[in-house]
Amino acid sequence: MQMCVAIPYKVLEVSGNGRAQIEVGSTRQEISTLLVPEVTVGDYVLVYLGSATARIEEQDAMEVMSLFEEIAEAETLLDSYPLRGRSKKTEGQQ
């Protein structure tokens, strides 16, 4: 099962045309702010498929990013486990 996840980003610049620049690592990316026109510089927004979908508090954004980091660390540990990713068919062939 897969699910879609909106990720929090910090707004660096807001244009008057429903666009904004967000910080993605050490780079910038342009997103649409048409769904949340009240966004201002310094706000944190949830971004999904290139659009800000909601404005969130900085503390909430930090908590979500911390959880994503924990998930990434756990995934790295799981990837190092010898049987990770094997299907029953693959296991039967080896």
Strand partners of residue 46: 8, 54
Q: How many domains does the chain have?
A: 1
* Least confident piece of the model among 20-24, 27-31, 74-78, 81-85: 81-85
pLDDT, tens digit, 9 for 90 and up, residues 2-15: 667 778 899 999 99
Note whether residue 49 is domain-resident.
yes
Structural domain of 71: 7-80
Note whether residue 31 is domain-resident.
yes
Output the domain CATH number for residue 61: 2.30.30.140
Band the pLDDT of 55: cuts 50, 70, 90. very high
Supply the pLDDT for residue 73.
83
pLDDT, tens digit, 9 for 90 and up, residues 62-90: 898 888 888 888 888 777 777 655 555 55
Note whether residue 20 is domain-resident.
yes
Strand residues in the chain grouped as ranges (E): 7-14, 19-24, 27-32, 44-48, 51-56
Task: Report yes or no on whether pTM surpasses 0.75.
Answer: no
Note whether residue 23 is domain-resident.
yes
Strand partners of residue 19: 32
With residue 64 as reference, give the H or E element that holds it.
helix 58-79
DSSP code at position 91 = H
Note whether residue 29 is domain-resident.
yes
